[in-house]
Structure 1
Amino acid sequence: MHAINRNDAEHYRWGDGCDGWHLLAGDDLSVIEERMPPGTAEQPHRHARSRQFFYVLEGEAVLELEGHSHHLARGEGLHVPPGVAHQMRNESTCDASFLVVSTPPSHGDRIPSPIARGAA
């Protein structure tokens, strides 16, 4: 067992210039660090089984849950229960970096789900 960092972690690219690093890819738990440039967003979706926690490391991000926008600053996080439609966005002018903790891992458990705007 050894300490892990982005230099040692499996890297992948997604969306429009976004990066991800698999810090832990277990059968029951996933920890990913992601970076989103300004003006980028992931596609709205939900997970049937996966519970997630998003935690902002640097910058700020908007995590929309079922039509309600949550503005998260550095050091803030938000839980996304299974079945809840969500979308992470970077509406700022700086990069946003955050952790995504999922149990069980969310890969293979992603369902495209438009988010109803203005829902409470």
Structure 2
Amino acid sequence: MIEIRTLDRENLERAYGLDGERLKPWPALNSPFEGVWAVLRAGTESTPHAHHEYEIFIAMAGSATLVVDGRKYPFTAGDIVNLPPGCLHQVVNETDADFEYYGVWWDTEMSQQFLARHEGRSS
């Protein structure tokens, strides 16, 4: 059975300088990763940060600049980027339109917890 969850654009939560909706909690989803639909408002930038998780960003709408360890990269709808653990990264939107992307992150602990939930199950 599938379940489609609709993005609640009216109730996005503020974190890291952008508005977003986290993937979890979602009782129907059992995954070894976490994610967020992120909206970076026109003329704003996300908070620079680094973390131990692996992460990818998938650009969904608009364009922005991705800054990773001080280097700038154009980042446009349809692009995907791999962000290794420990890199300092942020997204800068210098345009007049919102930029939207999906971020997905994971680490070994998340993977181990996922595997433990499935221990003993057949594929």
Same-fold status (TM-score > 0.5): yes
More helix by share: 2
Percent identity for Structure 1 against Structure 2 = 24
Asked whether the 8 Å contact 2:40–2:100 carries over to 1, the reply is: yes
Alignment match of 2:63 (pick from 60, 64, 69): 60
Unpaired runs of 5+ in structure 1? 105-120
More strand by share: 1
Flag the structure with larger Rg. Answer: 2
State the shift of 1:88 in Å.
1.1
Distance in 2 (alpha carbons) for counterparts of 1:85 and 1:64: 8
Q: What secondary structure, in the 3-state scheme, does the structure 1 residue paired with 2:23 have?
A: strand
**1:70 pairs with 2:73:** yes
Give the equivalent residue in structure 1 for 2:111: none
Give the equivalent residue in structure 1 for 2:13: 12
Deviation per CA, 1:22-54: give whole Å up to 9, x if none.
12456731121011111111121110x211111
RMSD of the alignment, in Å?
2.2
Distance in 2 (alpha carbons) for counterparts of 1:11 and 1:74: 20
Unpaired runs of 5+ in structure 2? 108-123
Letter in 2 for 1:80: L
Deviation per CA, 1:61-103: give whole Å up to 9, x if none.
1111111111111111111000111111111111100000111
Distance in 2 (alpha carbons) for counterparts of 1:14 and 1:90: 16
Distance in 2 (alpha carbons) for counterparts of 1:24 and 1:3: 14
Alignment match of 1:103 (pick from 77, 99, 106): 106
Structure 1 moving runs of 4+ over 2 Å: 23-28
